[in-house]
Structure 1
Amino acid sequence: MKLYFSTKNIPQLQHLPLTQRLAAMQLAQGKLIGPEKLFLNVLKMLVVIPVFIFIIQIATNWMAIFWALLVTLLYPVLVKPVQYALCAKYIPQPHANSQGDP
């Protein structure tokens, strides 16, 4: 599985503007099969749950807020590339229009 850190890096979407890339990703995400959705949701939970644990610890340890912020910043670094990689296979290849086509 090749990881993509931006939708610009996905070969099928490189020629599209941002709004169309996001729309294509939304459609591809709807095509994910059950195990892929489960894997993505478990990964999201593995990132989100520690944030809440650190927030609870703020009452006794004020440094926990920094750890919560750090883990929150890691969310797009860990989850988005996996999400893009899973969705990339459901994005159709662009059709090359030849000059003879009407």
Structure 2
Amino acid sequence: MTLYFSTKKIPQLQHLTLPQRLEALQIAERKLTGPEKLLLNILKLLVVIPVFVLIIQISTNWMAIFWALLVTLLYPLIIKPVHHGLCVKYIPNTHRQGD
């Protein structure tokens, strides 16, 4: 699976405008299989749960807020490439500007 950090980098979507790319990605997301959706949701949980654990630790360690913010900022850097990589196989190669 290739990881794409931007929808501009997906070969099937390079010639489309941003709204068209997002629409094509949304259509492809609906076609994800159950195990793919499960994998994506588990990955999201693995990123989100530490944030809440760190927030709970703020009462004893005020530096935990910085770690929680760091993990929160890393969320799109971890989730979006995997999301795009899973969806790319459901994007048809025949998207054209007028569609």
Flag whether TM exceeds 0.5 (same fold). Answer: yes
Aligned to 2:51: 51
What CA distance in whole angstroms lies between the structure 2 residues aligned with 1:94 and 1:57?
A: 51
Which residue identity does 1:86 align to in structure 2?
L
Aligned to 1:99: none
Which residue identity does 1:10 align to in structure 2?
I
What CA distance in whole angstroms lies between the structure 1 residues aligned with 2:34 and 2:75?
A: 22
Aligned structure 1 segments of 4 or more residues deviating by more than 4 angstroms: none
The structure where helix makes up a greater share of residues is: 2
CA RMSD of aligned residues (A): 1.1
- Give % identity: 73
How big is each residue's C-alpha offset from its partner over 1:42-92, in whole Å with a ceiling of 9 and x where there is no partner? 000000000000111111111000000010011111110000000000000
What CA distance in whole angstroms lies between the structure 1 residues aligned with 2:36 and 2:80?
A: 14
What CA distance in whole angstroms lies between the structure 1 residues aligned with 2:89 and 2:30?
A: 12
Alignment pair present for 1:18 and 2:18: yes
What CA distance in whole angstroms lies between the structure 2 residues aligned with 1:60 and 1:29?
A: 41
Once the two structures are superposed, the pairs formed by residues 1-102 of structure 1 within 5 Å of their partners are 1-94=1-94
Name which one, 1 or 2, has greater alpha-carbon Rg.
1
TM-score, normalization by structure 1 = 0.91
The alignment covers a number of residue pairs equal to: 96
Aligned to 1:100: none
Task: Tell me how far 1:15 sits from its aligned partner.
Answer: 0.4
Cα distance change on mapping 1:95 and 1:37 into 2, 3 Å = closer
Task: Give the secondary-structure state (helix, strand or coil) at the position aligned to 1:2.
Answer: coil
Unaligned runs of 5+ in 1: 97-102
Cα distance change on mapping 1:53 and 1:95 into 2, 3 Å = closer
Task: Give the secondary-structure state (helix, strand or coil) at the position aligned to 1:89.
Answer: helix
